[in-house]
């Protein structure tokens, strides 16, 4: 007897999750349910399987780096777009979670909504948020920069750029915008070139 579409989808999802290492039972059941309905979604089964692979790879990166990331940060992946939520103890851990998420093959965008439970003053946090917003706006309105491919995070005046640049010229423009902003102490780039691979 042949396997139905739902059974095939469940089998593919379980195989992907099994390849990623140990996975909590809830994740396996959730992945099976996701794969079972993926065939009828707009993104189709192929898109759902790709997203499950991205999620498994990011989880493995987090587990290899710091078990706390895996426990404290939640993730949703749709069509290569990764939404990160949760709370971490310090800004540096937040930056690491996003940086590692960009390392997974197939990631097109990382949306960082992770909160920080630290002792920074409200003034420091407000200044960092203002820098990030201004920089994101500048990138978005520059036709020579594909802003959707970048994530911007600012911690105590240090700008962290993450993502994928189309070429060196585009990356140079993004870095120049960051360096030119008032209140920026330094710029650290984790941006990779589009054709350089993961």
Q: pLDDT (tens digit, 9 = 90+) per residue, 54-109? A: 999 999 999 999 888 888 898 889 889 899 988 888 888 999 999 999 999 999 99
| Residue 3 predicted with pLDDT over 70 | no
127 closest CA partner among 85, 88, 172, 91 = 91
**Cα 19 to Cα 184: distance, rounded to the nearest angstrom:** 42
Average pLDDT over residues 135-149: 94
Domain range annotation of the chain: 120-193
Of the chain, the percentage scoring pLDDT greater than 70 comes to: 73
pLDDT confidence bin for 139, thresholds 50/70/90: very high
| Residue 47 predicted with pLDDT over 80 | no
CATH topology of domain 120-193: 3.30.1340
Q: Is the Cβ–Cβ distance between 73 and 88 less than 8 Å?
A: yes
């Amino acid at each position: 007897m042949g396997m139905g579409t739902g059974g095939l989808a469940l089998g593919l999802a379980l195989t992907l999750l099994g390849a990623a290492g140990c996975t909590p039972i809830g994740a396996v059941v959730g992945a099976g349910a996701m794969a079972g309905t993926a065939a009828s979604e707009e993104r189709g089964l192929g898109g759902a399987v790709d997203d499950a692979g991205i999620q498994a790879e990011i989880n493995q990166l987090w587990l290899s780096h710091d078990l706390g990331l895996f426990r404290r940060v939640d993730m949703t992946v749709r069509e290569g777009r990764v939404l990160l939520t949760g709370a971490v103890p310090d800004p540096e851990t937040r930056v690491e979670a996003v940086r590692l998420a960009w390392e997974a093959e197939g990631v097109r965008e990382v949306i960082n909504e992770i909160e920080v439970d630290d002792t920074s003053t409200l003034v420091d946090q407000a200044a960092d948020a203002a820098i990030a917003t201004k920089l994101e706006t500048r990138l978005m309105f520059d036709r020579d920069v594909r802003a959707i491919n970048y994530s911007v995070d600012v911690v105590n005046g240090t700008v962290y750029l993450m993502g994928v640049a189309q070429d060196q010229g585009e990356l140079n423009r993004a870095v120049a915008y960051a360096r030119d902003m008032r209140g920026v102490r330094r710029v650290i780039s984790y941006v990779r070139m589009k054709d350089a691979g993961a």
